[in-house]
């Protein structure tokens, strides 16, 4: 058994293949094929023993047809008595092959229009009293109306290549009467025929002669509209075809592409600028933080200079004003206005009034970075900050209610712990690295216990007073 035949191998169509006629070459005696394909295997299994049913699928089809044969209605026919007259044996086949007539491009003498049921009924009605108009002449009239109207529209330049709105009727009664004088039809009759035609046209909204009906537009989605025009070359999605186009349409498209690209360029340039500014902002922020850290460590050295009472009001004013100042300027500069700015300022002022201490700018939340930058730059004023308190630049202070809600109990005071002033050590809660809640009793930076009471830490929330 040739297992190799299971694996499909590409077949070169240009290579000559040997035609093997002898059965001896095959592995199995009577069956001409080995299991070359799974399908043949299945067929063999399902087929009858002797009759090899490779053509199984072909033979299956007629069988159901045979079963259905009794259900298919057989066509009936009736021999018409006028058959011989209608289809007279007058066709003489020439010995040479028949040639087709030239394309009847122009609307010529041949009356292309045929009366339909509607027309015939109307004519019958019209002729009820007296046989005034024969069907042939009526047909002729309608045809001529169509032709004349078409010519009038051509002259007026309103021929549309595809069917858009309704096709207007331009032929007037007088013009028609004039043109068709030679017909020798009584004017009254003529008038009735004309008004019938006009009414029909208005009802149909398009010519009643098929050849004059414009095709539906290419983009028409109505499934009942048929025979849309196609461009000269059958439009397929091949790159080849697109290359051949060189008309106004493709020019407009290219123009549009160019406009789009230019706009994209402008946007991208603005984007680059914005990102550069962002980077600069970030860098200055980082250096600010570094400065603050530096100042924080150096505060103890310059603390003394602040103990001048007189200096406070000035400072406070300065502070207040600077607060206002940078609030205003910040409101302009900030992309996101700080909702807490006002409570902060008022809290700061309040605290100031209450405690009489210089108010420090609180350790801010990250969003407040822009605000803080203005204080040292504009005032050269070092905030009084508790050197003992770890300055944690980017954390929010803990909110007691939330702690309670989460069932977190701050560790109770440890009596008897060492402290510089003999006061009980309180735990200072903060959010540490990774969002963990940490209660410090040891200032990691200054290596001394935390004494919360002296802290001038002013959290951004108005509940700041709680800590004091």
Partner 1 sequence: MKRKEQLQRHMRKCDLKHPPGDEIYRSGTLSMFEVDGKKNKVYGQNLCYLAKLFLDHKTLYYDVDLFLFYILCECDDRGCHMVGYFSKEKHSEESYNLACILTLPPYQRKGYGKFLIAFSYELSKKEGKVGTPERPLSDLGLLSYKGYWTRVLLDILKKHKGNISIKELSDMTAIKADDILNTLQSLDLIQYRKGQHVICADPKVLDRHLKAAGRGGLEVDVSKLIWTPYREQG
Applying CB under 8 A, which residues contact partner 1? 2, 4-5, 9, 11-23, 25-26, 32-34, 36-37, 39-40, 52, 54-55, 58-59, 61, 75, 82, 86-93, 97-101, 103, 110-111, 114-117, 120, 135-136, 139, 210-211, 215, 226-230, 233-234, 236, 238
Taking the complex as a whole, the smallest distance from the CB of residue 126 to partner 1 amounts, in Å, to: 16
Q: How far is the CB of 70 from partner 1 (least distance, A)?
A: 16
Q: Is 142 left (phi over 0), alpha (psi -120 to 50) or beta?
A: alpha
CA 36 to chain centre: 49
Half-sphere exposure of 373 (CA within 13 A, CB side): 19
Which segments of 76-217 does DSSP mark as H helices, in order? 83-86, 117-126, 135-156, 173-179, 187-204
Choose between 209 and 375: whose C-beta lies nearer to partner 1: 209
Q: Which is nearer to partner 1, 139 or 389 (CB)?
A: 139
Which of 67, 407 has the CB closer to partner 1?
Answer: 67
C-alpha angle with apex 153: 148 to 157, nearest 5 degrees?
150
Query: In the bound complex, what is the minimum distance in angstroms from residue 275's beta carbon to partner 1?
Result: 48
- Chain position carrying tokens 């186009």: 245
From the CB of 127, what's the least distance to partner 1, in Å? 14
The SS3 of residue 33 is: coil
Choice between 238 and 305, CB closer to partner 1: 238
Closer residue to partner 1 (CB): 244 or 436: 244
Under 8 Å between Cβ of 430 and 423: no
Count the neighbouring beta carbons within 10 Å of the beta carbon of residue 428.
Answer: 25
In this complex, which beta carbon is closest to partner 1, that of residue 25 or of residue 174?
25
Residue number with CB closer to partner 1 (89 or 294): 89
CB of 128 to partner 1, least distance (A): 17
425 class by beta-carbon count within 10 Å (0-12 exposed, 13-18 middle, 19+ buried): buried
Nearer of residues 77 and 335 to partner 1, judged by Cβ: 77
Burial letters 272-283, b for 16+ CB under 10 A, else e: eeeeeeeeeeee
Nearest approach in angstroms of CB 262 to partner 1 is 36
Q: How far is the CB of 172 from partner 1 (least distance, A)?
A: 28
Minimum Å gap between C-beta 49 and partner 1 is 14
- Which residue number, 233 or 264, has a Cβ lying nearer to partner 1? 233
Confirm if 356 and 392 have CB atoms less than 8 A apart: no
Q: At what angle do helices 117-126 and 135-156 cross, to 10 degrees?
A: 120
Q: What is the largest CA-CA distance in the chain?
A: 136
Contact indicator for 28, 34 with CB cutoff of 8 Å: yes
176-192 core/surface letters (b: 16 or more CB in 10 A; e: else): beeebeeeebeeebbee
The distance of closest approach from Cβ of residue 11 to partner 1 in the complex, given in angstroms and rounded to an integer, is 5
């Amino acid at each position: 058994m040739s297992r190799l035949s299971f694996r499909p191998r590409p077949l070169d169509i240009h290579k000559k293949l040997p035609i093997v006629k002898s059965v001896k070459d095959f592995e199995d005696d009577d069956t001409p094929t080995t299991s070359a394909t799974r399908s043949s295997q299945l067929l063999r299994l399902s087929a009858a023993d002797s009759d090899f049913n490779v053509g199984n699928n072909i033979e299956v089809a007629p069988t159901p047809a045979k079963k259905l044969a009794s259900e298919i209605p057989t066509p009936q026919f009736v021999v018409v008595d006028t058959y011989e007259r209608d289809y007279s044996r007058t066709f003489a086949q020439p010995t040479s092959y028949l040639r087709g007539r030239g394309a009847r491009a122009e609307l010529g003498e041949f009356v292309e229009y045929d009366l339909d049921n509607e027309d015939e009924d109307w004519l019958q009605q019209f002729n009820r009293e007296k046989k005034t108009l024969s069907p042939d002449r009526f047909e002729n009239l309608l045809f001529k109306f169509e032709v004349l109207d078409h010519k009038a529209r051509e002259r007026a330049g309103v021929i549309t290549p595809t069917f858009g709105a309704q096709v207007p009727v331009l032929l007037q009664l007088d013009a028609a009467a004039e043109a068709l004088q030679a017909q020798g039809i009584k004017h009254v009759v003529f008038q009735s025929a004309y008004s019938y035609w006009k009414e029909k046209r208005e009802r149909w909204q398009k010519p009643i002669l098929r050849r004059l009906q414009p095709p539906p537009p290419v983009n028409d989605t109505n499934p009942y509209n048929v025979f849309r025009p196609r461009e000269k070359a059958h439009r397929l999605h091949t790159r080849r075809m697109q290359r051949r186009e060189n008309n106004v349409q493709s020019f407009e498209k290219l123009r549009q592409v160019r406009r789009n690209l230019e706009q994209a360029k402008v946007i991208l340039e603005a984007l680059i600028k914005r990102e550069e500014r962002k980077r600069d902002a970030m860098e200055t922020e980082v250096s600010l933080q570094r400065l603050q850290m530096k100042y924080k460590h150096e505060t103890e050295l310059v603390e003394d200079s602040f103990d001048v009472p007189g200096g406070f009001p000035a400072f406070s004013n300065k502070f207040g004003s600077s607060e206002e100042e940078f609030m205003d300027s910040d409101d302009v500069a900030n992309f996101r206005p700080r909702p807490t700015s006002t409570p902060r300022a008022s809290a700061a002022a309040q605290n100031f009034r209450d405690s009489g201490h210089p108010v420090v700018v609180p350790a801010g939340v990250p969003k407040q970075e822009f605000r803080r930058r203005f204080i040292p730059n504009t005032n050269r004023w070092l905030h009084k900050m508790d050197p003992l308190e770890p300055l944690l630049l980017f954390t929010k202070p803990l909110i007691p209610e939330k702690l309670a809600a989460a069932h977190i109990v701050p560790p109770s005071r440890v009596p008897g712990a060492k402290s510089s002033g003999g006061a009980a050590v309180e735990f200072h809660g903060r959010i540490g690295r990774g969002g963990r809640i940490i209660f410090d009793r040891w200032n990691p930076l200054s290596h001394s216990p935390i004494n919360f009471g002296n802290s001038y830490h002013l959290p951004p929330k108005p509940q700041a007073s709680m800590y004091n």
